[in-house]
Chains A and B, each alone.
Chain A
Amino acid sequence: MNTELVQQLFNGLVSGSFYAMLALGLSVIFGMLGVVNFAHGAFYMVGAIGAFVLLDTVGMSWWLALLVVPVVLGIVGMVLERLLVARLVRLDPLYNFLLTFGIALILQDVVRLKYGVASQPYPRPALLDGSMSLGLFDYPKYQVFVLVFSIVLSVLVWLVLTRTRVGVIVRASTERPELTRSLGIDVRRWVTPVFGFGIALAGLAGVLAAPMRAVNSGMGGDLVIVIFAVVVIGGLGSVFGSVAAGYLVGMLSAIGSVYVPALSQSLVFILMALVLLLRPAGLFGRDEGVRV
């Protein structure tokens, strides 16, 4: 393996970090509520714009924004769930898909009207400016931080889901809501926080993206479709599958941009087609939702 390829793989892991974090939130929400949140990309965009606005108006540092923005968006998410999403949860999941599509359009247009379509500048935090040596090559510190952060976050979520009581309840409610309820656990109580948590994750990814991606109203629109493909590849509802597919798709696109640049954006959809052909439930998915 030559150095350039390793470097590309690394680039892929960094962009895969964003796919993984977004797919993780989407997957957790789907697992708990059966809702596919179209507005996930829009909340990612709001997270990035939020960090920019906080810096621009009150001079809030990126580090603080990394904490404040997800908390605020988590609360927004919970309110959204209580006010709107909960009304449709008992109906066909398509209705919540359409509802969140409408919300995504509104959020995107509001931000476009306020800040235009041009990208807003966001400086890297001073501590993470510059590059560091990774042995074979030098790499921007910030990107390394994003990668490490996303991996730690994914592992943390995984540990919470597998090793704690809360995690056991959430997983049980996801997989067997009726049985969990009959064991005397109030499943409803966990739905709203889980929805808020998923939205907070999207906002967090947005704040992380602000210093290295173009921050504008359109940044989430195309991305959410890629995330859909990622979760179809990984298996929607499978937390591990979503995260793994996120990194996988990131690396695939990065390598693709070297060998088949014309196809680099399309590779994720081609991979999705292959998965549908060979393993319709997704690489790590269970058979739910696949035709009998």
Chain B
Amino acid sequence: MIISRLVAGRSPLVRLGFLVVGLVVAFGLPWFIYPPVALDIAAWALFAVALDLLLGYTGLLSFGHAAFWGSSAYATGVVAVETGLPFYVAVLAGAVVAALVAVPVALLSVRRTGIYFAMVTLAFAQLIYFVANRWRSMTGGENGLQGIPRELFGADLSDSFYFYYAAIPLILLGLFGAWRVAHSPFGRVLVAIRENPARARALGYPVDRYKVQVFVISAFLAGIAGGVYAIGHGFASLQEVYWTTSGKVVVMNILGGMGTLWGPVLGAGVIVVLEDYLATAGIDAIGIVTGAIFVVTVLVFRRGIWGTARHLLRGRGRTGDPPPAAVRAPAEENVKEPEPH
């Protein structure tokens, strides 16, 4: 009973408990895990949560989020290299660039819904990839952008253990921002749009404007994550804007459980630790493993880790526990309307 109340996360006290556990994990992580890996987990967690605002809450599958993570990684790197300002400023600048890139992409992409939205965002991300590849003077092309400094008021952050603690406030701020968005009136409208776009529109909500807004917010948060990642690694490469990166953040969402915020964080942790394990064990088959996770999760585990736990532990008496958004056919996209003759 206690556990079920815990996972269901209903009472404020339980929520507070989650928060405390989350913070303890966030601050304790580099004591248990190799600090650079801990930083990767934190950055990818924020990236995955940023995507969850779109995928889980608004029901929009962006398959091109690498564009924002990556353009911020480059922009953050360029600002850090050229100005030598504290890396907080560089990351913020990178996130702003990511949001600016997202504006035209969002305005065009929301003209299509459902599966088309995924294809279109993927295609725009590939455009960004080609631009990054071509713009050698800015991005370093295939060599990447190297030698990004970890500058913070002259503090010695060369040890990744200390850098983790310098960077984690940015990540936590980003996660807090996502949580605020999801639990605001704005966030409730997003869920309404996910559930039934036609009804949301009929109620007078400018659906497309909401979609563009959450897309840009999501890109901004993905930008913070990408910027921290670039500073942490000291370089930004084409990998950051490639479609496999977009796919990786999607798999974190579906594995962890989309639409839950905590789920994508878990998903990010699992995937990053798994990749690290495979790399250190010398198993060079990350595509097969990621692909298999995709296939298995989609076939038999669509609620994801968090969603399944919550579903199992919530009392059976409660009816109307909604399955994840995409399990049901959204009203607008899938029903083929008879065409007028």
Contacts and interface: CB of A to CB of B under 8 A. Distances in A.
Interface string A258-292: 00001001100110110011001000001111111
Nearest to B254: A98
B298 A88 contact: yes
Nearest to B302: A95
A102 B111 CA distance: 27
Interface stretch (A139-147, A156-164, A222-230): A222-230
Given A92-B327, A92-B328, A109-B291, A289 B333 contact: yes
Nearest to B125: A225
Given A113-B285, A266-B131, A280-B111, 13 more contacts: A94-B115, A98-B250, A98-B298, A102-B290, A104-B291, A106-B288, A106-B292, A113-B288, A228-B120, A229-B119, A236-B116, A266-B130, A291-B112
Interface string B105-136: 00011111111101110111011001100100
Interface string A52-95: 00000000000000000000000000000000100110011111
B263 to A, nearest CB: 16
Contact of B290 (A34, A105, A112, A113): A105
B115 A93 contact: yes
Interface string B153-197: 000000000000000000000000000000000000000000001
Given A109-B286, A109-B291, A291-B208, A270 B127 contact: yes
> Which of B110, B127, B134, B332 lies at the interface centre, i.e. has the most chain A CB atoms within 10 A of its CB?
B127
A31 to B, nearest CB: 11
A110 B288 contact: yes
A92 B330 CA distance: 8
A101 B293 CA distance: 11
B152 interface: no
A67 to B, nearest CB: 29
B157 to A, nearest CB: 35
Contact of B298 (A95, A177, A273, A287): A95
Q: Give the interface residue-count category, chain A.
A: 35 or more
Contacts of B243: 221-222, 225
B287 A109 contact: yes
A154 interface: no
A15 interface: no
A216 interface: no
A86 to B, nearest CB: 11
A146 to B, nearest CB: 25
A94 B108 contact: no
Contacts of A262: 134
B294 interface: yes
A103 interface: yes
A270 B131 CA distance: 12
17 contacts: A84-B295, A92-B327, A94-B114, A99-B295, A101-B250, A102-B292, A106-B292, A106-B295, A109-B291, A176-B338, A221-B243, A222-B243, A225-B122, A270-B127, A273-B108, A289-B113, A290-B112
Q: Give the interface residue-count category, chain B.
A: 35 or more
A110 B112 CA distance: 34
Residues of A contacting B: mostly: helix
A36 interface: yes
Contacts of A226: 126
B339 interface: yes
A190 interface: no
Contacts of A108: 287
Contact of A292 (B108, B285, B302, B332): B332
Nearest to B324: A92
A255 interface: no
B100 interface: no
A98 B334 contact: no
A76 to B, nearest CB: 15
Given A98-B294, A106-B295, A291-B111, A272 B120 contact: yes
Interface string B288-325: 10111111001100100000000000000000000000
Contacts of B328: 92
Contacts of B292: 102, 106
Given A87-B299, A99-B295, A262-B134, A106 B119 contact: no
Contacts of B338: 176
B124 A269 contact: yes
Given A99-B295, A113-B284, A113-B285, A272 B123 contact: yes
Contacts of B109: 276
A229 B332 CA distance: 23
B10 interface: no
A177 B335 CA distance: 11
B21 interface: no
Contact of B124 (A273, A288, A290): A273
A292 B197 CA distance: 10
B111 A276 contact: yes
Contacts of A292: 198, 201, 332
Contacts of A104: 291
> Which of B111, B113, B291 lies at the interface centre, i.e. has the most chain A CB atoms within 10 A of its CB?
B291
